[in-house]
Amino acid sequence: MSPPPLTARLVRPVRVKRRLAVRYGADFPLLGAGFTANVSMHGLAIFGSSVHNPGTSIRVDLRLPGNVACRIEGRVAWALRGSAAIQLPNQLGLEIVRADESYYRFLMSIPGFGPDASPAKAEPQPPREAPAPRTVSPAPVVPVQPEALRPRAERRGVTLPFHFGEARALFLAGVVLNVSQGGLCFRSNRVVEVGTCLQFAAESPAGPFAGAGTVIWSRADARTDRHGLQLTQVDEGWYRYLVHVS
């Protein structure tokens, strides 16, 4: 059974967190083993023992509640290689091409996943009158403070695995140690030079987020390297995570 078509690509499919045992691979026997991180009508995310290149067609044997076996076929949409040194598993995202009907029955049995989860259509609003013109006073000029005198941004200590890289393929793994409005500190087993522009992504308790930034400092110790990343671009998920850890 094929997934229903996505009628509006701008609306993100509803995802729910569910930990279900899986075996997966491109050919039989299915050598990959792991569990799902989240599931949806059109795909699922897997933490597993192996990764496959994006675009690879794979088969998944999924174990639903009640020990119900389910077969899924799909294509790898993204893949992130983990790191045993920092206990970060491999991750991959699967775009579903075909799945047993039992999979969709399972999804529809989840409270709030069915039609109730669909975004409500916006009701038409009456036209607004143009606001009256008003005079705006020029903003006062504020001198830039020297670096040493600037107030330090409030930081929140966290422990969050994430992936990063210099391109869209985020194959490097690390752990975020603290976050603030303008940046983050992370640990990895790979040296990153100051001035390097990075992209990153993570699955947090508040949902996934992604962004980009520039490495502004780097410190090495006996086991790992720590880096400071000044953010240049983030999505809405980043701000949801900041609210979650506040």
Per-residue pLDDT in tens (0 to 9) along the chain, 246 residues:
666 554 444 445 678 888 999 999 998 889 999 999 899 889 999 998 888 988 999 999 999 999 999 999 999 988 888 776 666 778 889 999 999 999 999 998 888 765 544 444 444 555 656 555 655 455 455 454 444 444 556 888 999 999 888 866 667 888 999 998 889 999 888 888 888 889 898 888 888 888 889 999 988 776 668 999 998 888 888 888 888 888
- Write down the pLDDT at residue 165: 85
The residue to which tokens 């290689």 are assigned = 81
CATH class, range 155-245: mainly beta
- Write down the pLDDT at residue 24: 95
- Write down the pLDDT at residue 210: 86
Kindly report, residue by residue over 145-185, the tens digit of the pLDDT. 444 444 556 888 999 999 888 866 667 888 999 998 889 99
Kindly report, residue by residue over 12-26, the tens digit of the pLDDT. 567 888 899 999 999
Coil, helix or strand for 107? helix
CB-CB neighbours of 38 under 10 Å: 18
- Write down the pLDDT at residue 173: 85
Tokens (6 digits) for 202: 């993570």
CB-CB neighbours of 41 under 10 Å: 18
126 Cβ contact partners less than 8 Å away, ≥ 6 residues apart: none
- Write down the pLDDT at residue 81: 80
Q: What angle do CA 118, 124, 126 make, to 5 degrees?
A: 155
Tokens (6 digits) for 114: 């069915």
> Would the CATH topology of 21-117 be identical to that of 155-245?
yes
- Number of alpha carbons in the 13 Å side-chain half-sphere of residue 234: 21
CATH class, range 21-117: mainly beta
Tokens (6 digits) for 107: 């999804």
Per-domain residue ranges for the chain?
Answer: 21-117, 155-245
- Write down the pLDDT at residue 4: 58
